[in-house]
Chains A and B, each alone.
Chain A
Amino acid sequence: MSSVFLDKGSAPGQGRRDVLVSARGLEVHFPVRSGGPLRRTTGALRAVDGVDLDVYRGETLGLVGESGCGKSTLGNALLRLVPPTGGTVTFDGLDVTAMGRRQLRDLRRRAGMVFQDPFASLDPRRTVAQTVSEPLEVHRLHPGRQARAARVRELLELVGLDPAVASRYPHEFSGGQRQRVGIARALAGEPDFLVCDEAIASLDVSIQAQVLNLLRRLQRQLGLTLLFISHDLSAVRHVSDRIAVMYLGRVVEVGPATAVAAEPQMPYTRALLSAVPLPHPALERSRQRIVLRGDVPSPARVPSGCRFRTRCPDVFEPCPDVDPALQAVGSAPGHVAACHLHGVVGTPVRREDPAAPAGAGDPAR
């Protein structure tokens, strides 16, 4: 079901759009090992568990979810920085999961990553210039010391740093400046695709805004495709063209940012939105919060059927028995959600094998 829909997925007001990165039935399961010398595999931690997602060329796709939902693992798996255990990823038509060494190296140039903690993501023993020029050396771009130095200066200027800082070490910089260095490194190979993994989470409020503006400017200026992974819904709403919501290893709602933020169609998205604190006291006082019960279940023990059903305020009888597939919802084109409230669509749970990633086979059909 979902495949039929996703293939037709289109941005509002536009026809069919060019897909740059695409995941089908993507799974990243980590083995859970028992203690003791034998280290037998006793189960699987299903960090990413059957994700279907398209990232269109030139857009910013926001990926939100709470800690442990697998959003960061998904971002890493799209670039094969974490090996997927099932499903496929294609990048510009090429199968990422089947890439050889050379193709993979080319992917590393064409897809960059910005990390969360700017204090940890820069090697403390290497200067800014050494860090930023690493991709240039690895991919033999701008060969020659002079040319590389020139390119480093250009990159530093691009991210709003004084090129004179090239010879300094990371500890001499503030968090925001370091994050700019990290962005410059990610941009050095002139990538098409940039994954920002909680790139502003460790920064001060006033610095977050600077980096958000920078990312937006770079996206427009360089025609980048951006996957913006964050737990901060306001920030995601601000930078994204479309938003994807993840819960417990699965993408549960995707749609145009305006539609997802204004008319969320999945109870989890609604709860998430209602919990975002807004800096308006009067509004906060009058707002009805949907306070969810309990905690997110462990990804090692995913509930059967709809994985949100254990906390869902609107749970009803098909929820434990049918694993919901993404289906068209709401009024905006391209808005999909995996929720039985919009019609029971999905794969019935097979009782004898509850661990089977239901729905993963769909796109192959």
Chain B
Amino acid sequence: MTGAPLPEPAASPTATDAGVRSTQRAPRPRWRETLGLLARNPTAAIAAAVLVLLVLMAVFDETVAPDGPNEISVDDRLQAPSWAHPFGTDDLGRDILSRVVLGAGVSLRVGFLAVAFALVVGALVGLLAGFYGRWVDDVLMRFMDVLFAFPAVLLAIAVLAVRGPGAGNTALAIGIVYVPVFARVTRASVLGVREEVYVRASRSVGASDWRLLTRHVLPNAAPPIIVQTSISLAFAVLAEAALSFLGLGTQPPNPSWGLMLAEGRGFIDIAWWLAFFPGMAIFLTVLCFNLLGDGLRDVLDPRQRTLMAGGGR
């Protein structure tokens, strides 16, 4: 076309028409609004609700679970799902529903711990690298690249081999794997925010670097990091399951979904429920974290936000 592609009616920085000004300068996300908008995104809202239930279940596992997780009952071995044992029982006669409920605590705790570690370390690295740039950026990010270049499972196995298995070490291992992911996301976001005029304006009144970082850069760089957190939680739960499946994570007799999956594998042709229910639990949790992450991405992105608020889908 000779003419012009459709210009945004009010995209100009100077005095121009802005019949649709509000769509150009969408209010930046804030908590109340974010929650309100999230509620209007049904998929994400349902995912969030399921996750809240899961967490509540994990917190009150002793009360929720019908039986103890390790109560062996030889008479009830390999029972199919029934009213007494809705998810059936395993080869030692342990109630699978109870073990899934208690496994939620183990799986989610490892997931949260791992992501918390990755978030704190990774975001700090990304923040410093993005904000200071130059050699700080070069040194930190090359180190992250090296970390990133290791195959994730191998890295986790190495950590566990050195420190020994167990929930805490599993979380640490998974956390280390995810540090570079958070570092990169944070750095990219900080690079954008760092150049904002309001950061310069704040510097011009004498604000210290610490103040700039904590009051201006981090809050404005947060949305992608929040999204990454939700998605990483899904991967962390999966990773815990994988490591436990390999025998490196949670140790028996403690129930963890991955471990239960591994234990149920041998019985898959005679007692499918041993592997099916922990598998479903993993599936549901991962799906919900991913859906929530996608929902947050939409809600926290000012452009997406306007579309949704405008109801123009």
Contact = CB atoms under 8 A, between A and B. Distances in A.
Given A81-B203, A115-B200, A124 B220 contact: yes
Contacts of A134: 202, 205, 207, 215
Q: Which of B15, B27, B204 has the most CB of A within 10 A?
A: B204
Interface of B: 13-15, 25-28, 30, 196-198, 200-208, 211, 215-216, 219-220
B145 to A, nearest CB: 15
Interface string A83-106: 000000000000000000000110
A119 B25 contact: yes
A117 B13 contact: yes
A188 B205 contact: yes
B14 A202 contact: yes
A188 B198 CA distance: 16
B205 A115 contact: no
A109 B201 contact: no
A135 B211 CA distance: 11
B67 to A, nearest CB: 49
Q: Which of A120, A122, A138, A169 has the most CB of B within 10 A?
A: A120
Interface in A96-133: 104-105, 108-109, 112-113, 115-117, 119-126
Given A119-B25, A123-B220, A171-B28, A205 B15 contact: yes
B14 A108 contact: no
Contacts of A201: 14
Interface residues of A, number: 36
Contacts of B15: 202-205
A52 B201 CA distance: 26
A212 to B, nearest CB: 15
Contacts of A139: 206
Interface of A: 79, 81, 104-105, 108-109, 112-113, 115-117, 119-126, 134-135, 138-139, 169, 171-172, 182, 185-186, 188-189, 201-205
B133 to A, nearest CB: 13
Contacts of A125: 28, 30, 219-220
7 contacts: A119-B25, A120-B197, A123-B215, A124-B28, A135-B205, A171-B25, A188-B205
Contacts of A172: 27
Contacts of B204: 79, 81, 108, 112-113, 186
Nearest to A104: B206
Contacts of A108: 204-206
A81 B204 CA distance: 7
Nearest to B216: A123
A295 B206 CA distance: 38
